Amino acid sequence: MDDNGRVLHLRLISPAARTDEVTTVLEECPGITNIVVLPGAAREPKGDVLLCDAARESANEVLSRLRWLKDEGSIAVEQVDLALSKAADDAVEEAPGEPDDAVVWEELSQKVQADSRMTWAFLAFLAIATQIAGIGILQNSPILIVGAMVLGPEFGAVAAICFGLLHRQWRLIAGSFKTLVLGFMVAIAITYACALVSVWLGWIDLGNLTRNEEVQFIVKPDRWSFIVALLAGAAGVLSVTAGKSSALVGVFISVTTVPAAGYVAVALALADWPEVAGSVSQLAVNILGMVIAGTATLLIQRKFWPRVGRRSSL
């Protein structure tokens, strides 16, 4: 059976005195199979090693009931790409709901925190994407602009804000917002400097902005901009929680955050203030729409997914 993420593999380290308790939890939870107990196998931390496979839909219940192992032992979870096992097939069928609908909240928490950190890689990708967008704007090239949209890494921080709002994790919200703001400021500053040099060299002038009718949507936010941002925010969160990377690429292409930042930088270098205001508004509208829709999507998944699971298991 090609599971492609439907089955997760758990490696647990438990204090010897509590191994029976852990084993009981694994045996009681639906969708758990291939349970293996290796007494005394763990050296750091010391304890027993327990291995098992879990249907993705069952992961939240197991992790919730064994949360104490985080302090007293260890929990590691990895995705199983292929499981040739009737027991694994039966476990997936036994678990409530559908694997693609299941959100493993601990996994999502770690992912959004990692994706929202201010790193050199994040700054580099965002700066490069913004410069490509700026060149695409000056060259009136939608292809370059789409390429810049795909390259931009900013949705990770947006998803982290949505997750933080859902769980009221104010530190995560503040850190992710800081990453977004500083990231775009650095990217715009670098692109502005490059555009300013181009102005001094006589490579570009105000006419480059007045002749780019094909990319004017970047600086003309309207009701459709907000609607697209809402749809992209919902689709982006769904693609992250379901592990659908191809769908996430579509989200990147849908919203004009990076192109708007590129337009800000170029318009600043050419001192075209009305265009600066329009592109800043477009950037703000897109981020606001994605945050609203992304948070609402996570709220729906948390509130209604368990109910759907219980009904489907009856």
How many distinct structural domains can be found in the chain?
2
The residue among 78, 101, 124 that closes a domain is 101
Residues 28 and 128 reside in one and the same domain: no
Is 299 domain-assigned? yes
Residues 144 and 14 reside in one and the same domain: no
The residue among 83, 101, 119 that closes a domain is 101
Is 232 domain-assigned? yes
Q: What is the mean pLDDT of the chain?
A: 86
Q: What is the pLDDT confidence band of residue 212, given thresholds at 50, 70 and 90?
A: low
Residues 259 and 130 reside in one and the same domain: yes
Residues 138 and 243 reside in one and the same domain: yes
Q: What is the pLDDT confidence band of residue 2, given thresholds at 50, 70 and 90?
A: very low
Is 310 domain-assigned? no
Rounded Cα distance, 264 and 91, in Å:
53
pLDDT tens track for 40-91: 999 999 999 999 999 888 888 899 999 999 899 999 999 888 878 788 777 7
The residue among 34, 69, 101 that closes a domain is 101
**What is the mean pLDDT of the segment spanning 10-34?**
93
Residues 82 and 139 reside in one and the same domain: no
Residues 208 and 77 reside in one and the same domain: no
Is 311 domain-assigned? no
- Give the number of other CB atoms < 10 A from CB of residue 15: 16
Q: Are 130 and 148 in contact (CB under 8 A)?
A: yes
pLDDT tens track for 213-268: 666 677 777 788 889 899 988 988 888 887 676 667 767 777 788 999 999 999 99
Residues 94 and 118 reside in one and the same domain: no
Q: What is the DSSP letter of 214?
A: G
Question: Residue 258: is it exposed, middle or buried by C-beta count within 10 angstroms (0-12/13-18/19+)?
Answer: buried
What is the domain extent for residue 164?
A: 108-305
Is the pLDDT confidence value at 177 over 70? yes
Residues 118 and 64 reside in one and the same domain: no
Residues 79 and 125 reside in one and the same domain: no
Beta-strand (E) ranges in the chain? Answer: 7-14, 32-43, 46-55, 74-80
For tokens 């060259």, the residue is 139
Residues 78 and 217 reside in one and the same domain: no
Residues 189 and 61 reside in one and the same domain: no
Residues 182 and 284 reside in one and the same domain: yes
